[in-house]
Chain A
Amino acid sequence: MFLELKQIKKSFGQGETRVQVLHGIDLSVEKGEFCVLLGPSGSGKSTLLNIIGGIDRADSGDILIDGERMSQMGEKKLTLYRRRHLGYVFQMYNLIPNLTVRENIEVGAYLSDHPLDVDELLHTLGLWEHRYKLPNQLSGGQQQRTSIGRAIVKRPDILLCDEPTGALDYYTSKEILALIETVNRRYGNSVLMVTHNDAIRQMADRVVRLRDGRIWDEQVNQHRVSAEQLEW
């Protein structure tokens, strides 16, 4: 098992205002697996993603990635962990506004000893024509493609996607999902995608449903449906 979550618990606030967000999550993701975390708002899926991403710490429990325990990692090691293993795709793209498309992707490339070829990736992402543009000159879809480029250029083991289509229209969303699917297939990264769009579950290998901070249902798809065929 490449990524293993054991009894992850997390709460926010103190005393009377304390809210338990995650109630002991156990989850495993195989290398190259496409896993979708489904759930309504407040179910704890983004918190779980942040803990996996090393941005937030769990109150208890542990995460093992490629055999390494995250709970034993200090700040430096955690940074190294994110650097080596993770790629992040956000709902609102989070591009650096004063860098061009190419430079935003280079921000990711810098972190790897063996990054993908940036020019080739720009072609793959369909951004070659736009490589010298700033983020504010791009459409939402183009920005998200740039964001995906930045995440995958460093060949991460896991691609964490937090509602990557949440701010996009139907067609652009399908385009982006298709891109993530291509990336997953071509580069073999594990993909962990948080979404509340139920239709997306069909393109995943594994679907985990969260409700009130607990895994409510977990199922494995025998046959993945391609992004192009999704309808919602």
Chain B
Amino acid sequence: MVRRRNSPLRRRLPRELRDELGKYLVIFVLLVLSIGFVSGFLVADGSMIAAYNESFQLYTVEDGHFLLPRAMNKAQKRAIEGFGVSLFDNFYVDTGLTNGSTLRLFAQRQQVNRACLMKGEFPQRADEIAIDRMYADNNSIALGDQLSDGTQTWTVTGFVALSDYSALFSDNSDTMFDAVKFGVAVVTQEAFSALDRTQLNYCYAWGYQKPPADEAEEHQRSEELMKQLLTEVEMEQYVPRYQNQAIRFTGEDMSGDRAMMLVLLYLMIAIMAFVFGITISSTITREANVIGTLMASGYTRGELLRHYMTLPVWVTLSGALVGNVLGYTVFKELCAAMYYGSYSLPTYVTRWNSEAFVLTTLVPLGMMVLINLAVLVRALALSPLNFLRRDLHPRRRWKAVPLGEFLPFFTRFRLRILFQNASGYAMLLVGILFANLLLMFGLGLPECLDHYQASIETNLLSRYQYILKMPLSAMDEGHKLESVLSMLSFQHAVETENEDAERFTAYTLKTLEGKFRSEDVMVYGMEPDSRYVRVETGEGEVYISSAYADKYQLQIGDRVTLREPYEDTQYQFRVAGVVDYIGALALFLPREEANDCFDLGRSYFSGYFSNTELTDIEEKYIGSVIDLNALTKVSRQLDVSMGSMMNMVDAFAVLIFMVLIYLISKLIIQRNAQSISLVKILGYTSAEVGRLYLWTTSLMVVVFLLSSLPLVYRMLTVLFRDVMMAKMTGWIPLDMGSAVFGKMFALGVGTYALVAALEYRRICQVPMDEALKTVE
């Protein structure tokens, strides 16, 4: 039996690794970081999604809830339960704390929406409270601290995650959750019963007695339930679970992030694989004689192919393995902390994620093998004689691109380097686009949020918008006389002496469900000659806020169709103007017309615009106040959730940028080592050689940096809009100011300068005998 011996060529591998340590090291580091981060992310994401999904059953999360103006009676309850659902009291009280935030208090729920205890213990006494872990983090509240709403004081005994509040949305129509100024908490039944009953929110959670088979059935049953509920009770809010942002947002966000991370990883691997491909093809050119000799001596193409594939495959494999180890240890914690920094998730157990292993190890390895194989099969297809004669393009005789002699010699020289390395520069362009996209995201988002916060301040319709709350008695159709009296008293009570105040009608409609989910649009009925928004529209015409126009890309003359939140009724309006208002998606039309349109009664109004605080209206009649604080909730929360991540994104982008420039310029210098050596022999100084061989890369970097900015901005705008449409209600314009572009350019040039200094050193080190020892 003939024993097959190992190819002696493999002894070259450690030497090749040592000679090209810089190249392999940076690629290895980049692979470890990207694979490690993505693997850590997938493990954390998978484990947390599993914990999140299991929480539905583990903590009996509701199938939906509705809010009533008063408690249901037993008959109503029975009737509703007759529709195939079980009802549970889910009452709560929102209380303003002395620290300026709002806490939603629940009694400890035993049957539905149970809490996960993260630390400490559940309250045992009436003066004890367990609060949401993330709210506690964001407000630096520790166990044993005291919370007070001015009348009552509780001692914090535990940190919890409420299964129906994994994202802290205080209102389902909010653009974004707010884990800084809003939190949830549980108190004992005894403590809850002692709370002010007038502040009680009569919320009922339901669970289907026979769970729906799929999402479609869930939607259908929810629609039916809503219609049936309307025949029984008067609802203020109806939120099936699939529409409940506080429950769904977390899961959707985590799933969306996963897809984005994988796309980023594969893009990264593809770039690295192409870089390997280009360097391999350059090595083959350099070693053509050796390859020719080996082939002539009887080495097969397969043996050579395996030889040249070995290092890229080993580097990728070891990068993937080290990356996975780091992923399961360091990066998993980092990513879990990121999620815990945004969401109130229950505790999770790390799960071995075989899919993550495949996606972060086998897929990158496969990509690397395939791309390199394609390059190598093509490159090694030539005959030994072609290699020996260094005739690597036998079917294609390269002709020189004609360059006008009027161009200075150096310019022509540099252009020739550009043509010679076109594939490398193309890769650099892709890399710069990718890195700049990350960088623009990392630098631009905080700027965009800051800009939003700043511009919303100057962009308010009025400093305060008061939305009035009609007493329940005014709406009691069972007692007409009392209801009319109550309404009259309400109208009297909400009169104000403040001259700044201007009445408006507020009404909420929803966008139609389509590719993206439906969201609230606020309709403002404005006074004629309003001081805040002057509306001059014809019949069926409206003005829309710039936020609405931007998000849905609407223009004057377009038609918008909106629907009633809990009915099938639809309304169509023609856009007659755009009001510069980024705070919300809104429609503006004359108050009289709005009242007619929604059948509210001629004199109806439901709020005030005012630039000064209204002090002469009793608090119980004020439902909410939309002020700067309320409008900047989104940007504040995004800042808290993503702020820390942005620095990491920036650093990663700079690293990618640096590695790619390093590899490409190294490749160019390597490819031209002989020519560099030769011109040095001829008497060119290192500075002149640098000017010849680095200038082209410098120019390309500057051109790519500058030209990528508008392109990347365009790409980010499209991605940003898609994310906003898919994930968030409301709108934040992607307005990051020109400073970001300046910063990106400066970072790019600064990074390049660093690499160029290294490369210049490399040029100086090219020995003059290089030109003498290698045969052309």
Q: Interface on A for B, CB 8 Å cutoff?
A: 50, 53, 55-56, 76, 79-84, 86, 88, 90, 92-100, 102-103, 106-111, 132-137, 150, 162
Contact = CB atoms under 8 A, between A and B. Distances in A.
A176 B417 CA distance: 30
Nearest to A111: B683
Contacts of B683: 79-84, 86, 111
Interface of B: 397-400, 402, 405, 409-410, 412-413, 416-417, 419-420, 674-675, 678-685, 768-769, 771-772, 775-776
A55 B768 contact: yes
Interface of B is mostly: helix
Nearest to A109: B409
Contacts of A97: 675, 776
Contacts of B772: 50, 55, 90, 162
B681 A53 contact: yes
B413 A108 contact: no
A111 B769 contact: no
A98 B675 CA distance: 10
Contacts of A106: 409, 412
A76 B416 CA distance: 27
Contacts of B417: 98
B685 A107 contact: no
Given A56-B769, A90-B771, A137-B397, A108 B682 contact: yes
Contacts of A133: 399-400
A90 B772 CA distance: 8
A134 B409 contact: no
Contact of A94 (B397, B410, B412, B776): B776
A143 to B, nearest CB: 8
Given A92-B776, A94-B776, A98-B417, A83 B682 contact: yes
Contacts of A53: 681
A134 to B, nearest CB: 5
11 contacts: A55-B772, A76-B685, A90-B771, A90-B772, A92-B776, A94-B771, A94-B776, A99-B413, A133-B400, A134-B400, A162-B772
Nearest to A135: B776
B676 to A, nearest CB: 9
Nearest to B418: A98
Given A103-B409, A103-B412, A110-B409, A98 B420 contact: yes
Given A98-B417, A102-B405, A110-B409, 9 more contacts: A55-B681, A79-B680, A92-B775, A93-B776, A96-B678, A103-B409, A111-B682, A111-B683, A134-B398
A123 B409 CA distance: 20
Contacts of B684: 79, 83, 111
Contacts of A92: 775-776
6 tightest Cβ-Cβ pairs between the two chains A and B = A83-B683, A82-B683, A98-B420, A96-B675, A98-B416, A55-B768
Contacts of A103: 409, 412-413, 416
Contacts of B419: 98
A55 B677 CA distance: 10
B409 A132 contact: no
A162 B773 CA distance: 13
B416 A99 contact: yes
Given A55-B769, A98-B419, A88 B681 contact: yes
B682 A132 contact: no
A118 to B, nearest CB: 9
B398 A136 contact: yes
A95 B400 CA distance: 14
Contacts of B685: 76, 79
A96 B684 CA distance: 14
A103 B410 CA distance: 10
A97 to B, nearest CB: 7
Contacts of A56: 769
A150 B769 CA distance: 19
A112 to B, nearest CB: 9
B433 to A, nearest CB: 26
A56 B771 CA distance: 13
A195 B679 CA distance: 23
A97 B392 CA distance: 13
A35 B189 CA distance: 111
Contact of B682 (A50, A88, A100): A88
B640 to A, nearest CB: 54
Contacts of B681: 53, 55, 82, 88
Contacts of B769: 50, 55-56
A53 B678 CA distance: 12
A99 B414 CA distance: 10
A102 B769 CA distance: 25
Contacts of B420: 98
Given A50-B772, A100-B400, A137-B399, A82 B409 contact: no
A107 B399 contact: no
A39 to B, nearest CB: 17
Contacts of B398: 134, 136
Contacts of A136: 397-398
Contacts of A93: 776
Contacts of A135: 776
A155 to B, nearest CB: 13
A94 B678 contact: yes
A209 B775 CA distance: 26
Contact of A134 (B399, B675, B771): B399
A100 B419 CA distance: 13
